[in-house]
Amino acid sequence: MDNNLVAEKTAPPIHMVYQPVARITQDELEVVAYESLLRVSPNRCNHTTFSIINDAEEAGTIATLDARIARLACSDAAKLDGMNLWMNMSQVTLSYPPVAKQIADVILDNGLSGRVTVEITETADGKVPLLLESIQLLKNQNIAVVIDDIEDGFAKSHLLRSDLIAGCKLSRNSTARLLEDPYYMEAVDRLIRWCKSIGKTVVIEGVENSFEMNIVKSLGADFYQGFHLWKPASFIDLPAPGTRKRIITPRSQANIPPCHLASN
């Protein structure tokens, strides 16, 4: 029996949650998209989200898992008008252009052309020529592609220069480093300015509290994400697209220049 079929039949129950992605509009956070996140239901083998993904990448069945996630997430997104969906895809999956084509078909079959962004993850190493072939295929179907966690793991940061890539995301690790290293903050500031100059977007994720929000917003990224903004939630509990809430500035930081904050 095909290994991928066995993997799907024997996999523990999974479900999706979604974390809103926001932009800043007049000192308010506005929901503009939702990142789909895999969750594993309680199971006898104590599988976790991390172990499921890691095991699938090592066993060569990650393409089956990513396709399954795409079906679940796209089915949900099709039910909510204006829902822009961001989906994580392994480099291993995208190293198989026929699988990328299948996932693109799922997106199109759900009427989501122009509303889906694929995030190329950093947890496994893919083959660049094949990645580019898959990315071109997705772009041809009006599906945007960004580099997830661009400074971590096997992230293909050099592909950010390609016209095929729409932007990048900075991980929680990067956000934490911003708070501790003023030189890194300057480097990220240069990255964001460069991306803006050539029409690419930058997302800063892992914003956990108002202190961090006050620092990272000074960088002028396009989008922000994190527990301080909105926590991951089930589809039925999501805030509607366009939902806004005010940015709370910590009183002790209100009149301190961002560069000073970063150096303390």
pLDDT in tens, 195-242: 999 999 999 999 999 999 998 999 999 999 999 999 999 999 999 999
Mean pLDDT of all residues belonging to the chain: 90
**pLDDT at 251 (0 to 100):** 62
Q: Within a 10 A sphere around the Cβ of 111, how many other Cβ atoms?
A: 11
C-alpha 221/C-alpha 168 separation (Å) is 11
Higher pLDDT among residues 228 and 10, named by residue: 228
Q: Is 29 helix (H, G, I), strand (E, B) or coil?
A: strand
List Cβ neighbours of 195 (8 Å cut-off, separation of 6 or more).
160, 167, 168, 201, 202
CA distances, 154 to each of 7, 54, 237 (Å): 25, 14, 33
| 85, 117 Cβ separation under 8 angstroms | yes
Q: Where are the domains of the chain?
A: 3-262
- pTM recorded for the entire structure: 0.88
Chain centroid, CA 58 distance in Å: 22
| 60, 264 Cβ separation under 8 angstroms | no
- Pairing mode, if any, of strands 167-170 and 85-89? unpaired
pLDDT in tens, 159-198: 999 999 999 999 999 999 998 999 999 999 999 999 999 9
- CA angle 138-140-145, nearest 5°? 40
The CATH code of the domain at 3-262 is: 3.20.20.450
| 117, 146 Cβ separation under 8 angstroms | yes
